[in-house]
Structure 1
Amino acid sequence: MIEVSAAVLTNEPLTEDIYKLKLQTPVIAAGVQAGQFVHLEVPGFSLRRPFTVADAENGAITLIIRRQGRGTEALEQTKAGDAIQVLGPLGNGFRPMPGRTLLLGGGIGAAALTLLARRLDRCTLVMGGRSAAELWLDDLDLPATVDIQYATDDGSRGFAGNLVQYAKEYLTPGMWVAACGPQPMLAGLQSLLLQQDIPGQFALEARMACGLGACMGCTCKTKSGHALVCKDGPVFAAEEVALT
Protein backbone atom coordinates (compact mmCIF):
# COMPACT_ATOMS: atom_id res chain seq x y z
CA MET A 1 0.00 0.00 0.00
CA ILE A 2 1.22 3.46 -0.91
CA GLU A 3 -0.23 6.95 -1.21
CA VAL A 4 0.66 8.83 -4.37
CA SER A 5 -0.38 11.84 -6.38
CA ALA A 6 -1.72 10.46 -9.66
CA ALA A 7 -2.22 12.45 -12.84
CA VAL A 8 -5.50 12.10 -14.70
CA LEU A 9 -4.79 10.74 -18.18
CA THR A 10 -8.34 10.44 -19.53
CA ASN A 11 -11.89 10.78 -18.24
CA GLU A 12 -14.46 9.39 -20.67
CA PRO A 13 -18.20 8.69 -20.45
CA LEU A 14 -19.36 5.11 -21.03
CA THR A 15 -23.11 5.49 -20.44
CA GLU A 16 -25.45 8.18 -19.15
CA ASP A 17 -24.16 7.76 -15.58
CA ILE A 18 -20.96 5.68 -15.90
CA TYR A 19 -17.52 7.04 -16.75
CA LYS A 20 -13.99 5.66 -17.13
CA LEU A 21 -11.20 7.43 -15.24
CA LYS A 22 -7.59 6.58 -16.10
CA LEU A 23 -4.80 7.60 -13.72
CA GLN A 24 -1.02 7.54 -14.12
CA THR A 25 0.32 5.71 -11.06
CA PRO A 26 3.11 3.23 -11.94
CA VAL A 27 3.71 1.78 -8.47
CA ILE A 28 0.05 0.93 -7.85
CA ALA A 29 -0.41 -0.35 -11.40
CA ALA A 30 2.56 -2.70 -11.01
CA GLY A 31 1.41 -4.17 -7.70
CA VAL A 32 -2.38 -4.37 -7.84
CA GLN A 33 -4.13 -7.74 -7.77
CA ALA A 34 -7.40 -8.34 -9.59
CA GLY A 35 -10.22 -7.51 -7.20
CA GLN A 36 -8.28 -5.00 -5.10
CA PHE A 37 -9.35 -1.37 -4.83
CA VAL A 38 -7.96 2.13 -4.34
CA HIS A 39 -9.14 5.03 -2.20
CA LEU A 40 -9.37 8.39 -3.98
CA GLU A 41 -9.24 11.79 -2.35
CA VAL A 42 -12.02 13.92 -3.82
CA PRO A 43 -11.34 17.67 -4.04
CA GLY A 44 -13.59 19.51 -1.60
CA PHE A 45 -14.56 16.42 0.42
CA SER A 46 -13.06 15.05 3.63
CA LEU A 47 -13.79 11.35 3.04
CA ARG A 48 -12.08 9.36 0.32
CA ARG A 49 -14.05 7.20 -2.13
CA PRO A 50 -13.22 3.52 -2.83
CA PHE A 51 -13.14 2.15 -6.39
CA THR A 52 -12.11 -1.24 -7.70
CA VAL A 53 -9.25 -1.29 -10.20
CA ALA A 54 -10.73 -2.29 -13.55
CA ASP A 55 -7.44 -2.32 -15.46
CA ALA A 56 -3.73 -1.82 -14.80
CA GLU A 57 -1.16 -1.54 -17.58
CA ASN A 58 1.62 0.72 -18.84
CA GLY A 59 1.93 2.45 -15.47
CA ALA A 60 -1.74 3.43 -15.30
CA ILE A 61 -4.89 2.18 -13.58
CA THR A 62 -8.43 2.47 -14.90
CA LEU A 63 -11.49 2.96 -12.70
CA ILE A 64 -15.10 2.53 -13.81
CA ILE A 65 -17.24 4.93 -11.77
CA ARG A 66 -20.99 5.38 -11.47
CA ARG A 67 -22.20 8.90 -10.73
CA GLN A 68 -24.30 8.56 -7.58
CA GLY A 69 -23.58 11.55 -5.37
CA ARG A 70 -21.66 14.79 -5.07
CA GLY A 71 -18.29 13.05 -4.67
CA THR A 72 -18.55 11.05 -7.87
CA GLU A 73 -19.98 14.11 -9.61
CA ALA A 74 -16.83 16.02 -8.61
CA LEU A 75 -14.56 13.25 -9.90
CA GLU A 76 -16.46 13.24 -13.16
CA GLN A 77 -15.41 16.86 -13.70
CA THR A 78 -11.67 16.10 -13.49
CA LYS A 79 -9.71 16.43 -16.70
CA ALA A 80 -6.38 15.34 -18.15
CA GLY A 81 -3.49 16.77 -16.15
CA ASP A 82 -5.38 17.12 -12.87
CA ALA A 83 -3.79 15.49 -9.82
CA ILE A 84 -5.66 13.13 -7.47
CA GLN A 85 -4.33 11.59 -4.26
CA VAL A 86 -4.63 7.80 -4.44
CA LEU A 87 -4.14 5.26 -1.66
CA GLY A 88 -3.70 1.63 -2.63
CA PRO A 89 -3.79 -1.08 -3.62
CA LEU A 90 -6.07 -2.14 -0.77
CA GLY A 91 -7.85 -5.32 0.32
CA ASN A 92 -7.57 -8.91 -0.86
CA GLY A 93 -8.17 -9.85 -4.47
CA PHE A 94 -9.31 -12.91 -6.41
CA ARG A 95 -7.43 -16.19 -6.22
CA PRO A 96 -7.76 -17.94 -9.62
CA MET A 97 -8.84 -21.56 -9.38
CA PRO A 98 -8.45 -24.54 -11.72
CA GLY A 99 -11.17 -25.21 -14.26
CA ARG A 100 -13.21 -23.13 -16.67
CA THR A 101 -13.97 -19.66 -15.38
CA LEU A 102 -17.33 -17.90 -15.42
CA LEU A 103 -17.32 -14.24 -14.35
CA LEU A 104 -20.67 -12.65 -13.49
CA GLY A 105 -20.91 -8.88 -13.03
CA GLY A 106 -24.14 -7.16 -12.10
CA GLY A 107 -24.13 -3.55 -13.31
CA ILE A 108 -21.16 -1.57 -12.00
CA GLY A 109 -20.03 -4.79 -10.28
CA ALA A 110 -18.60 -5.91 -13.63
CA ALA A 111 -15.77 -3.41 -13.05
CA ALA A 112 -14.42 -5.68 -10.29
CA LEU A 113 -13.99 -8.52 -12.79
CA THR A 114 -12.37 -6.97 -15.85
CA LEU A 115 -8.79 -6.99 -14.54
CA LEU A 116 -9.23 -10.64 -13.56
CA ALA A 117 -10.59 -11.38 -17.04
CA ARG A 118 -7.52 -9.83 -18.66
CA ARG A 119 -5.16 -11.92 -16.54
CA LEU A 120 -6.81 -15.31 -17.06
CA ASP A 121 -5.86 -17.55 -19.97
CA ARG A 122 -9.50 -17.80 -21.04
CA CYS A 123 -12.84 -16.97 -19.45
CA THR A 124 -16.45 -16.02 -20.07
CA LEU A 125 -17.43 -12.63 -18.66
CA VAL A 126 -21.15 -11.93 -18.42
CA MET A 127 -22.44 -8.46 -17.57
CA GLY A 128 -26.01 -8.04 -16.41
CA GLY A 129 -28.18 -4.94 -16.59
CA ARG A 130 -31.77 -3.83 -16.82
CA SER A 131 -31.40 -2.96 -20.51
CA ALA A 132 -28.82 -2.66 -23.30
CA ALA A 133 -28.41 1.05 -22.52
CA GLU A 134 -26.63 0.16 -19.25
CA LEU A 135 -23.97 -2.10 -20.81
CA TRP A 136 -20.41 -0.90 -21.42
CA LEU A 137 -17.99 -3.84 -21.64
CA ASP A 138 -17.60 -3.38 -25.40
CA ASP A 139 -15.88 -0.04 -24.72
CA LEU A 140 -13.04 -1.56 -22.66
CA ASP A 141 -11.09 -3.27 -25.46
CA LEU A 142 -10.85 -6.58 -23.62
CA PRO A 143 -8.63 -9.25 -25.24
CA ALA A 144 -9.96 -12.00 -27.49
CA THR A 145 -9.37 -14.51 -24.68
CA VAL A 146 -12.40 -12.99 -22.92
CA ASP A 147 -15.75 -14.26 -24.20
CA ILE A 148 -18.05 -11.30 -23.49
CA GLN A 149 -21.72 -12.08 -22.96
CA TYR A 150 -24.66 -10.02 -21.74
CA ALA A 151 -27.87 -10.60 -19.81
CA THR A 152 -30.63 -8.00 -19.68
CA ASP A 153 -33.84 -7.98 -17.69
CA ASP A 154 -35.83 -6.70 -20.67
CA GLY A 155 -34.13 -8.97 -23.21
CA SER A 156 -32.85 -6.03 -25.27
CA ARG A 157 -29.39 -7.63 -25.56
CA GLY A 158 -28.05 -11.10 -24.95
CA PHE A 159 -29.70 -13.51 -22.53
CA ALA A 160 -33.21 -12.46 -21.48
CA GLY A 161 -33.13 -12.51 -17.69
CA ASN A 162 -30.87 -11.78 -14.75
CA LEU A 163 -27.48 -13.29 -13.95
CA VAL A 164 -28.84 -15.88 -11.52
CA GLN A 165 -31.13 -17.15 -14.26
CA TYR A 166 -28.19 -17.12 -16.68
CA ALA A 167 -26.10 -19.16 -14.25
CA LYS A 168 -28.89 -21.70 -13.77
CA GLU A 169 -28.83 -22.35 -17.50
CA TYR A 170 -25.10 -22.31 -18.20
CA LEU A 171 -23.30 -23.56 -15.07
CA THR A 172 -21.65 -26.94 -15.56
CA PRO A 173 -19.39 -29.16 -13.42
CA GLY A 174 -15.72 -28.23 -13.57
CA MET A 175 -16.36 -24.49 -13.55
CA TRP A 176 -15.53 -21.93 -10.91
CA VAL A 177 -17.33 -18.61 -10.59
CA ALA A 178 -16.20 -15.09 -9.69
CA ALA A 179 -18.95 -12.54 -9.18
CA CYS A 180 -19.69 -9.02 -8.05
CA GLY A 181 -23.00 -7.21 -7.92
CA PRO A 182 -26.00 -6.36 -5.74
CA GLN A 183 -26.50 -8.47 -2.63
CA PRO A 184 -29.72 -10.17 -3.85
CA MET A 185 -27.87 -11.32 -6.96
CA LEU A 186 -24.99 -12.73 -4.90
CA ALA A 187 -27.40 -14.43 -2.51
CA GLY A 188 -29.12 -16.16 -5.42
CA LEU A 189 -25.79 -17.22 -6.89
CA GLN A 190 -24.56 -18.48 -3.54
CA SER A 191 -27.56 -20.75 -3.19
CA LEU A 192 -27.10 -22.04 -6.73
CA LEU A 193 -23.38 -22.71 -6.30
CA LEU A 194 -23.96 -24.60 -3.05
CA GLN A 195 -26.67 -26.72 -4.68
CA GLN A 196 -24.38 -27.67 -7.56
CA ASP A 197 -21.18 -27.91 -5.48
CA ILE A 198 -19.41 -25.35 -7.67
CA PRO A 199 -16.71 -23.18 -6.05
CA GLY A 200 -16.88 -19.42 -6.27
CA GLN A 201 -15.52 -16.13 -5.03
CA PHE A 202 -17.54 -12.96 -4.46
CA ALA A 203 -16.28 -9.37 -4.43
CA LEU A 204 -18.53 -7.52 -2.00
CA GLU A 205 -19.60 -3.91 -2.39
CA ALA A 206 -19.79 -1.71 0.72
CA ARG A 207 -19.57 1.88 1.85
CA MET A 208 -16.11 2.56 3.28
CA ALA A 209 -14.79 5.52 5.23
CA CYS A 210 -11.14 4.67 5.89
CA GLY A 211 -10.50 1.68 3.61
CA LEU A 212 -8.01 0.31 6.15
CA GLY A 213 -10.18 -1.46 8.72
CA ALA A 214 -9.84 1.21 11.40
CA CYS A 215 -13.34 2.71 11.33
CA MET A 216 -15.21 -0.64 11.29
CA GLY A 217 -17.76 0.90 8.95
CA CYS A 218 -17.89 -1.90 6.37
CA THR A 219 -18.59 -4.90 8.58
CA CYS A 220 -20.11 -7.99 6.99
CA LYS A 221 -21.16 -11.36 8.39
CA THR A 222 -19.32 -14.58 7.60
CA LYS A 223 -19.53 -18.16 8.83
CA SER A 224 -16.62 -17.51 11.18
CA GLY A 225 -17.97 -14.22 12.55
CA HIS A 226 -17.83 -10.60 11.50
CA ALA A 227 -15.33 -9.41 8.90
CA LEU A 228 -14.37 -6.12 7.29
CA VAL A 229 -14.99 -5.78 3.57
CA CYS A 230 -12.07 -3.38 3.14
CA LYS A 231 -9.47 -5.38 5.06
CA ASP A 232 -10.58 -9.03 4.99
CA GLY A 233 -12.17 -8.69 1.54
CA PRO A 234 -13.47 -7.35 -0.66
CA VAL A 235 -13.13 -10.85 -2.16
CA PHE A 236 -14.44 -13.75 -0.08
CA ALA A 237 -15.09 -17.42 -0.77
CA ALA A 238 -18.69 -17.64 -1.97
CA GLU A 239 -19.69 -20.12 0.73
CA GLU A 240 -18.12 -18.05 3.52
CA VAL A 241 -20.24 -14.89 3.49
CA ALA A 242 -23.73 -14.57 4.97
CA LEU A 243 -25.91 -12.84 2.38
CA THR A 244 -29.45 -13.48 3.61
Structure 2
Amino acid sequence: MMVKFGAITAYGLLSLAGEAMAQQTVKVMPFGASIVARCWRNDLEAKLKSAGITNFDFVGSQKGSPDCVAQFPGSDNDHEGHAGSQATDYAAHGNLTTWLNQQPVVDVVVMFLGHNDVVLGHKPQEQIFRAYSTLITQMRMKNPKMQIVWSNLTPLDPKRWDKDSPNNSKDIAALSAKIKEFAPAISTMDSPVRFVDNFSGYDPVADTEDGLHPNKSGNEKMASKFFSATRDAIQAASKGTAKTMRNSNIGTDFNNVVRDFLKEQRRAS
Protein backbone atom coordinates (compact mmCIF):
# COMPACT_ATOMS: atom_id res chain seq x y z
CA MET A 1 0.00 0.00 0.00
CA MET A 2 2.88 2.28 0.82
CA VAL A 3 4.44 1.74 -2.62
CA LYS A 4 1.16 2.42 -4.39
CA PHE A 5 0.59 5.67 -2.50
CA GLY A 6 4.17 6.79 -3.16
CA ALA A 7 3.90 6.09 -6.87
CA ILE A 8 0.62 7.98 -7.14
CA THR A 9 2.12 10.89 -5.24
CA ALA A 10 5.23 10.97 -7.41
CA TYR A 11 3.37 10.76 -10.66
CA GLY A 12 1.00 13.44 -9.40
CA LEU A 13 3.99 15.68 -8.77
CA LEU A 14 5.29 15.00 -12.25
CA SER A 15 1.92 15.88 -13.72
CA LEU A 16 1.76 19.13 -11.76
CA ALA A 17 5.29 19.99 -12.82
CA GLY A 18 4.39 19.38 -16.45
CA GLU A 19 1.37 21.66 -16.18
CA ALA A 20 3.45 24.36 -14.50
CA MET A 21 6.06 24.21 -17.24
CA ALA A 22 3.39 24.43 -19.91
CA GLN A 23 2.02 27.58 -18.24
CA GLN A 24 5.29 29.50 -17.97
CA THR A 25 4.70 33.23 -18.27
CA VAL A 26 5.44 34.50 -21.78
CA LYS A 27 7.03 37.96 -21.86
CA VAL A 28 5.55 40.19 -24.56
CA MET A 29 7.10 43.55 -25.49
CA PRO A 30 4.87 46.01 -27.39
CA PHE A 31 7.42 48.07 -29.32
CA GLY A 32 7.25 51.24 -31.39
CA ALA A 33 6.37 54.91 -30.99
CA SER A 34 3.45 56.85 -29.51
CA ILE A 35 0.65 54.67 -30.90
CA VAL A 36 2.08 51.75 -28.92
CA ALA A 37 1.27 53.72 -25.75
CA ARG A 38 -2.43 53.81 -26.65
CA CYS A 39 -5.19 51.69 -25.13
CA TRP A 40 -5.34 49.03 -27.85
CA ARG A 41 -2.75 47.10 -25.79
CA ASN A 42 -5.09 46.95 -22.80
CA ASP A 43 -8.00 46.02 -25.05
CA LEU A 44 -5.84 43.30 -26.64
CA GLU A 45 -4.95 41.93 -23.21
CA ALA A 46 -8.63 41.79 -22.26
CA LYS A 47 -9.49 39.94 -25.49
CA LEU A 48 -6.67 37.43 -24.97
CA LYS A 49 -7.71 36.70 -21.40
CA SER A 50 -11.35 36.35 -22.40
CA ALA A 51 -10.17 33.71 -24.86
CA GLY A 52 -8.35 31.82 -22.10
CA ILE A 53 -4.84 33.08 -22.91
CA THR A 54 -3.59 34.17 -19.49
CA ASN A 55 0.05 33.05 -19.24
CA PHE A 56 1.63 36.26 -20.54
CA ASP A 57 3.01 39.52 -19.23
CA PHE A 58 3.51 42.76 -21.16
CA VAL A 59 6.97 44.21 -20.48
CA GLY A 60 8.79 47.46 -21.20
CA SER A 61 10.31 50.51 -19.56
CA GLN A 62 7.27 52.72 -20.26
CA LYS A 63 3.83 52.97 -18.66
CA GLY A 64 0.66 53.73 -20.60
CA SER A 65 -2.01 56.19 -19.58
CA PRO A 66 -3.99 55.43 -16.40
CA ASP A 67 -7.08 56.00 -18.55
CA CYS A 68 -6.31 52.75 -20.34
CA VAL A 69 -6.38 50.81 -17.08
CA ALA A 70 -9.58 52.62 -16.12
CA GLN A 71 -11.15 51.35 -19.35
CA PHE A 72 -9.75 47.84 -18.85
CA PRO A 73 -9.38 47.31 -15.09
CA GLY A 74 -6.47 45.16 -14.02
CA SER A 75 -4.75 45.35 -17.39
CA ASP A 76 -0.99 45.53 -17.79
CA ASN A 77 0.27 48.98 -18.82
CA ASP A 78 3.93 48.18 -19.58
CA HIS A 79 5.24 48.80 -23.09
CA GLU A 80 8.22 50.07 -25.09
CA GLY A 81 6.57 52.80 -27.16
CA HIS A 82 8.38 56.16 -27.26
CA ALA A 83 6.61 59.21 -28.68
CA GLY A 84 8.17 60.79 -31.75
CA SER A 85 10.59 57.91 -32.29
CA GLN A 86 11.71 56.59 -35.66
CA ALA A 87 12.73 53.09 -36.72
CA THR A 88 15.78 54.55 -38.45
CA ASP A 89 16.95 56.23 -35.23
CA TYR A 90 16.32 53.10 -33.15
CA ALA A 91 18.39 51.05 -35.56
CA ALA A 92 21.22 53.58 -35.69
CA HIS A 93 21.49 54.08 -31.94
CA GLY A 94 20.84 50.57 -30.61
CA ASN A 95 17.88 51.59 -28.43
CA LEU A 96 16.04 48.31 -28.89
CA THR A 97 19.05 46.27 -27.83
CA THR A 98 19.26 48.31 -24.63
CA TRP A 99 15.57 47.82 -23.86
CA LEU A 100 15.67 44.11 -24.64
CA ASN A 101 18.67 43.68 -22.37
CA GLN A 102 16.80 45.38 -19.53
CA GLN A 103 14.45 42.40 -19.50
CA PRO A 104 15.61 38.96 -18.30
CA VAL A 105 13.49 37.36 -21.01
CA VAL A 106 11.51 38.60 -24.01
CA ASP A 107 9.62 35.89 -25.88
CA VAL A 108 7.41 37.98 -28.16
CA VAL A 109 7.84 41.43 -29.72
CA VAL A 110 4.75 43.19 -31.07
CA MET A 111 6.07 45.86 -33.43
CA PHE A 112 4.12 48.88 -34.71
CA LEU A 113 6.57 51.48 -35.99
CA GLY A 114 7.24 53.78 -38.93
CA HIS A 115 4.81 56.72 -39.00
CA ASN A 116 7.43 59.13 -37.71
CA ASP A 117 10.03 58.01 -40.24
CA VAL A 118 7.63 59.32 -42.88
CA VAL A 119 5.91 62.35 -41.33
CA LEU A 120 8.86 63.65 -39.28
CA GLY A 121 11.97 62.19 -40.87
CA HIS A 122 10.79 62.01 -44.49
CA LYS A 123 13.04 58.98 -44.86
CA PRO A 124 13.09 57.00 -48.10
CA GLN A 125 11.42 53.61 -47.97
CA GLU A 126 14.70 51.76 -48.59
CA GLN A 127 16.27 53.33 -45.50
CA ILE A 128 13.26 52.48 -43.36
CA PHE A 129 13.40 48.84 -44.43
CA ARG A 130 17.10 48.62 -43.68
CA ALA A 131 16.19 49.83 -40.20
CA TYR A 132 13.44 47.22 -39.88
CA SER A 133 15.90 44.51 -40.85
CA THR A 134 18.38 45.73 -38.25
CA LEU A 135 15.71 45.78 -35.53
CA ILE A 136 14.58 42.24 -36.31
CA THR A 137 18.19 41.08 -36.25
CA GLN A 138 18.55 42.67 -32.80
CA MET A 139 15.42 40.86 -31.59
CA ARG A 140 16.82 37.54 -32.76
CA MET A 141 20.20 38.23 -31.19
CA LYS A 142 18.41 38.62 -27.85
CA ASN A 143 16.36 35.48 -28.45
CA PRO A 144 17.00 33.25 -31.50
CA LYS A 145 13.46 31.91 -31.09
CA MET A 146 11.83 35.32 -30.83
CA GLN A 147 8.18 35.33 -31.89
CA ILE A 148 7.61 38.54 -33.87
CA VAL A 149 4.22 40.13 -34.47
CA TRP A 150 4.68 42.89 -37.02
CA SER A 151 1.93 45.27 -38.12
CA ASN A 152 1.86 47.65 -41.00
CA LEU A 153 0.71 51.21 -40.29
CA THR A 154 -2.70 52.77 -39.91
CA PRO A 155 -3.58 55.27 -42.68
CA LEU A 156 -3.24 59.02 -42.26
CA ASP A 157 -5.95 61.61 -42.79
CA PRO A 158 -4.57 63.56 -45.77
CA LYS A 159 -6.48 66.72 -44.82
CA ARG A 160 -4.48 66.93 -41.60
CA TRP A 161 -1.17 65.33 -42.46
CA ASP A 162 -0.50 66.29 -46.07
CA LYS A 163 -0.42 70.04 -45.44
CA ASP A 164 3.33 70.29 -44.83
CA SER A 165 4.30 67.36 -47.02
CA PRO A 166 1.76 66.44 -49.72
CA ASN A 167 2.90 62.82 -49.98
CA ASN A 168 2.70 61.78 -46.31
CA SER A 169 -0.52 59.79 -46.59
CA LYS A 170 0.56 58.17 -49.87
CA ASP A 171 3.97 57.29 -48.43
CA ILE A 172 2.33 55.65 -45.39
CA ALA A 173 0.09 53.64 -47.70
CA ALA A 174 3.09 52.56 -49.77
CA LEU A 175 5.11 51.67 -46.68
CA SER A 176 2.22 49.62 -45.29
CA ALA A 177 1.86 47.71 -48.54
CA LYS A 178 5.57 46.96 -48.55
CA ILE A 179 5.54 45.71 -44.94
CA LYS A 180 2.75 43.31 -45.91
CA GLU A 181 5.01 41.93 -48.63
CA PHE A 182 8.25 42.01 -46.65
CA ALA A 183 7.19 40.55 -43.29
CA PRO A 184 6.46 36.98 -44.47
CA ALA A 185 9.70 36.94 -46.46
CA ILE A 186 11.85 37.31 -43.33
CA SER A 187 9.91 34.80 -41.24
CA THR A 188 11.88 31.71 -40.20
CA MET A 189 10.91 28.43 -38.58
CA ASP A 190 12.78 29.30 -35.38
CA SER A 191 11.66 32.94 -35.29
CA PRO A 192 8.36 33.37 -37.14
CA VAL A 193 7.08 36.77 -38.20
CA ARG A 194 3.30 37.07 -38.02
CA PHE A 195 1.96 39.92 -40.11
CA VAL A 196 -0.97 42.06 -38.94
CA ASP A 197 -2.85 44.30 -41.38
CA ASN A 198 -3.93 47.39 -39.45
CA PHE A 199 -4.11 49.49 -42.62
CA SER A 200 -7.13 47.76 -44.12
CA GLY A 201 -10.51 48.73 -42.75
CA TYR A 202 -9.18 51.59 -40.63
CA ASP A 203 -10.75 55.02 -41.10
CA PRO A 204 -8.20 57.80 -40.44
CA VAL A 205 -11.01 60.24 -39.73
CA ALA A 206 -13.56 58.22 -37.73
CA ASP A 207 -10.97 56.03 -35.92
CA THR A 208 -8.51 58.72 -34.79
CA GLU A 209 -8.28 61.75 -32.55
CA ASP A 210 -6.07 63.74 -34.88
CA GLY A 211 -5.88 61.88 -38.17
CA LEU A 212 -3.16 59.61 -36.77
CA HIS A 213 -3.53 58.47 -33.15
CA PRO A 214 -6.39 56.04 -32.47
CA ASN A 215 -9.50 56.99 -30.55
CA LYS A 216 -11.74 54.42 -28.83
CA SER A 217 -12.99 52.87 -32.08
CA GLY A 218 -9.46 52.87 -33.49
CA ASN A 219 -8.11 51.11 -30.41
CA GLU A 220 -10.85 48.51 -30.69
CA LYS A 221 -10.03 47.85 -34.35
CA MET A 222 -6.31 47.56 -33.61
CA ALA A 223 -6.84 45.19 -30.69
CA SER A 224 -9.06 42.99 -32.84
CA LYS A 225 -6.50 42.94 -35.65
CA PHE A 226 -3.63 42.09 -33.29
CA PHE A 227 -5.56 39.36 -31.48
CA SER A 228 -4.98 36.25 -33.61
CA ALA A 229 -1.30 36.82 -34.35
CA THR A 230 -0.49 37.70 -30.73
CA ARG A 231 -2.44 34.71 -29.43
CA ASP A 232 -0.56 32.38 -31.78
CA ALA A 233 2.80 33.92 -30.85
CA ILE A 234 2.13 33.51 -27.11
CA GLN A 235 1.06 29.91 -27.57
CA ALA A 236 4.12 29.12 -29.68
CA ALA A 237 6.44 30.80 -27.19
CA SER A 238 4.76 28.96 -24.32
CA LYS A 239 5.39 25.58 -25.94
CA GLY A 240 9.01 26.50 -26.59
CA THR A 241 9.52 27.61 -22.99
CA ALA A 242 8.01 24.40 -21.61
CA LYS A 243 10.23 22.32 -23.89
CA THR A 244 13.31 24.22 -22.78
CA MET A 245 12.43 23.69 -19.13
CA ARG A 246 11.88 19.98 -19.62
CA ASN A 247 15.38 19.77 -21.07
CA SER A 248 16.93 21.96 -18.39
CA ASN A 249 18.92 20.89 -15.36
CA ILE A 250 15.96 21.83 -13.15
CA GLY A 251 13.68 19.48 -15.04
CA THR A 252 16.27 16.71 -15.05
CA ASP A 253 16.95 17.08 -11.32
CA PHE A 254 13.24 16.94 -10.54
CA ASN A 255 12.80 13.75 -12.53
CA ASN A 256 15.80 12.19 -10.79
CA VAL A 257 14.36 13.03 -7.38
CA VAL A 258 11.08 11.34 -8.29
CA ARG A 259 12.86 8.25 -9.60
CA ASP A 260 14.93 8.00 -6.43
CA PHE A 261 11.77 8.40 -4.37
CA LEU A 262 10.12 5.51 -6.19
CA LYS A 263 13.19 3.31 -5.78
CA GLU A 264 13.22 3.94 -2.04
CA GLN A 265 9.53 3.08 -1.83
CA ARG A 266 10.13 -0.22 -3.65
CA ARG A 267 13.00 -1.11 -1.32
CA ALA A 268 10.85 -0.30 1.69
CA SER A 269 8.18 -2.70 0.47
Common fold by TM > 0.5: no
Q: TM-score, structure 2 length as denominator? A: 0.32
Larger strand percent: 1
Q: Which has the higher helix share?
A: 2
- Higher-Rg member (1/2): 2
Q: Which has the higher contact order (CA 8 A, sep 6+)?
A: 2
